[in-house]
Amino acid sequence: MKRVLLFLLIALPVYLLISLYFLDKYYFLCPIDYKGEILIRNDSRGNGYFAANRQGNRAHEGIDLFARIGTPVLAARSGRVIVSRVIINKDKKTGSGNYIILYHPVNLTTTYGHLLKICVHKNDLIRQGQIVGLVGKTGNANYNDIQPHLHFEVRKDGIPQDPLGYLE
């Protein structure tokens, strides 16, 4: 009986500390640590707002957060890495290039695309605000006339959501 009680007295505080460490704030952090307003990419190839028209008469499924190449990219919420993809052909100018997808509770996912470097691996547990990569120009962002940016998506039950509605 004493052993069980001792175990509970040790295990419970450890469990609470770990739980608090991974506890999210009620909002999403912006993946780019701007000192002022959020900056959305706008260049000769178009703008980076959610649902903006894209080539092939499709809608943009995220937002493009303007940032310098090499800027740290932060996890918007705590979660688990479910995809960590590095492109092999560095000159390939299609898709999201190097990207990661994080799974969050209540069936939410966040995608971070066009990364120069990925700092996490599949199945890693990630804490809100942790650096997950660096802004780059991979994939279809590799054209000279496209500003460097982070492509950021939020999906609920697999359906694209406007990320600006989630960011504080």
Mean pLDDT of the chain: 87
Q: Does domain 26-165 sit in CATH 2.70.70.10? A: yes
For the whole model, what pTM was predicted?
0.83
164 burial (CB, 10 Å; 0-12 / 13-18 / 19+) is middle
Domain parsing of the chain, residue ranges: 26-165
> pLDDT value at position 79?
95
- Band of the pLDDT at 12, cuts 50, 70, 90? low
Q: Return the higher-pLDDT residue of 133 and 21.
A: 133
Instruction: Grade residue 53 by pLDDT with cuts at 50, 70 and 90.
Output: confident
* Token pair recorded at residue 24: 């999210």
16: pLDDT strictly greater than 60: no
pLDDT value of position 18: 55
What pLDDT does residue 140 have? 87
